[in-house]
Protein backbone atom coordinates (compact mmCIF):
# COMPACT_ATOMS: atom_id res chain seq x y z
CA UNK A 1 0.00 0.00 0.00
CA UNK A 2 1.33 3.41 -0.94
CA UNK A 3 2.33 5.89 1.77
CA UNK A 4 -0.35 8.37 0.61
CA UNK A 5 -3.01 5.70 1.29
CA UNK A 6 -1.52 4.73 4.68
CA UNK A 7 -1.88 8.34 5.86
CA UNK A 8 -5.66 8.36 5.46
CA UNK A 9 -7.72 8.17 8.66
CA UNK A 10 -9.89 5.38 7.25
CA UNK A 11 -6.79 3.27 6.49
CA UNK A 12 -5.48 3.82 10.02
CA UNK A 13 -8.85 2.79 11.46
CA UNK A 14 -9.06 -0.35 9.32
CA UNK A 15 -5.46 -1.54 9.63
CA UNK A 16 -4.49 -0.50 13.17
CA UNK A 17 -7.74 -0.77 15.11
CA UNK A 18 -10.18 -3.05 13.32
CA UNK A 19 -7.69 -5.52 11.90
CA UNK A 20 -4.75 -5.05 14.29
CA UNK A 21 -6.24 -4.45 17.74
CA UNK A 22 -9.64 -6.11 17.26
CA UNK A 23 -8.46 -8.96 15.03
CA UNK A 24 -11.07 -8.46 12.29
CA UNK A 25 -10.10 -9.82 8.89
CA UNK A 26 -9.82 -7.52 5.87
CA UNK A 27 -12.69 -9.47 4.34
CA UNK A 28 -14.97 -9.00 7.35
CA UNK A 29 -14.26 -5.25 7.31
CA UNK A 30 -14.98 -5.12 3.56
CA UNK A 31 -18.25 -7.06 4.10
CA UNK A 32 -19.16 -4.81 7.04
CA UNK A 33 -19.50 -7.72 9.44
CA UNK A 34 -20.02 -6.38 12.98
CA UNK A 35 -19.51 -2.78 11.81
CA UNK A 36 -21.62 0.02 10.40
CA UNK A 37 -20.65 3.28 8.75
CA UNK A 38 -22.76 6.26 9.74
CA UNK A 39 -22.62 9.85 8.47
CA UNK A 40 -23.99 11.46 11.62
CA UNK A 41 -21.86 11.58 14.79
CA UNK A 42 -24.90 12.10 17.01
CA UNK A 43 -26.45 8.92 15.59
CA UNK A 44 -23.23 7.03 16.38
CA UNK A 45 -23.25 8.35 19.95
CA UNK A 46 -26.92 7.40 20.34
CA UNK A 47 -26.25 3.86 19.14
CA UNK A 48 -23.50 3.43 21.74
CA UNK A 49 -25.61 4.97 24.52
CA UNK A 50 -28.56 2.69 23.70
CA UNK A 51 -26.40 -0.45 23.54
CA UNK A 52 -26.95 -1.04 19.82
CA UNK A 53 -23.21 -0.52 19.32
CA UNK A 54 -20.23 -1.14 21.60
CA UNK A 55 -18.00 1.63 20.32
CA UNK A 56 -17.98 4.46 17.79
CA UNK A 57 -14.98 5.78 15.90
CA UNK A 58 -15.18 9.28 14.43
CA UNK A 59 -12.96 10.12 11.49
CA UNK A 60 -11.92 13.27 9.73
CA UNK A 61 -13.17 13.50 6.16
CA UNK A 62 -10.67 12.88 3.37
CA UNK A 63 -9.23 16.17 2.15
CA UNK A 64 -9.54 16.87 -1.55
CA UNK A 65 -5.73 17.11 -1.74
CA UNK A 66 -5.40 13.58 -0.37
CA UNK A 67 -7.93 12.21 -2.83
CA UNK A 68 -6.23 14.02 -5.71
CA UNK A 69 -2.81 12.59 -4.78
CA UNK A 70 -4.15 9.04 -4.61
CA UNK A 71 -6.10 9.37 -7.87
CA UNK A 72 -3.27 11.01 -9.84
CA UNK A 73 -0.91 8.26 -8.68
CA UNK A 74 -3.28 5.71 -10.24
CA UNK A 75 -4.25 4.22 -6.87
CA UNK A 76 -7.74 3.68 -5.51
CA UNK A 77 -9.24 5.11 -2.36
CA UNK A 78 -10.02 2.74 0.52
CA UNK A 79 -13.57 1.54 1.06
CA UNK A 80 -15.87 4.11 2.70
CA UNK A 81 -13.40 6.97 2.30
CA UNK A 82 -15.26 8.81 -0.46
CA UNK A 83 -18.86 8.88 0.68
CA UNK A 84 -20.03 12.24 -0.64
CA UNK A 85 -23.27 13.76 0.56
CA UNK A 86 -25.69 14.98 -0.59
CA UNK A 87 -25.88 12.56 -3.49
CA UNK A 88 -26.70 13.80 -6.95
CA UNK A 89 -29.39 11.97 -8.80
CA UNK A 90 -27.68 9.31 -10.92
CA UNK A 91 -29.54 10.41 -14.03
CA UNK A 92 -27.94 13.84 -13.80
CA UNK A 93 -24.42 12.50 -13.53
CA UNK A 94 -24.56 9.46 -15.80
CA UNK A 95 -26.96 10.26 -18.60
CA UNK A 96 -26.80 13.14 -21.04
CA UNK A 97 -29.66 15.57 -20.72
CA UNK A 98 -31.43 16.29 -23.98
Q: Mind listing the pLDDT tens digit for each residue in 45-59?
A: 999 999 999 999 998
| pTM over cut 0.75 | no
* pLDDT for the residue 93: 58
pLDDT at 25: 93
| 81 band by pLDDT with thresholds 50, 70 and 90 | confident
Of 54, 58, 61, nearest in space to 22 by CA: 54
35: helix, coil or strand? coil
pLDDT tens across 86-98, in order? Answer: 666 655 556 555 6
Query: Are 17 and 57 contacting, i.e. CB atoms less than 8 angstroms apart?
Result: yes
Neighbouring C-alpha atoms within 13 Å toward the C-beta of 23: 0
Amino acid sequence: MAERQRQLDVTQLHKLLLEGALGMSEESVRNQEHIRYLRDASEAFQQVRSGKANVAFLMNPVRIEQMREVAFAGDVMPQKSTDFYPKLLSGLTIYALE
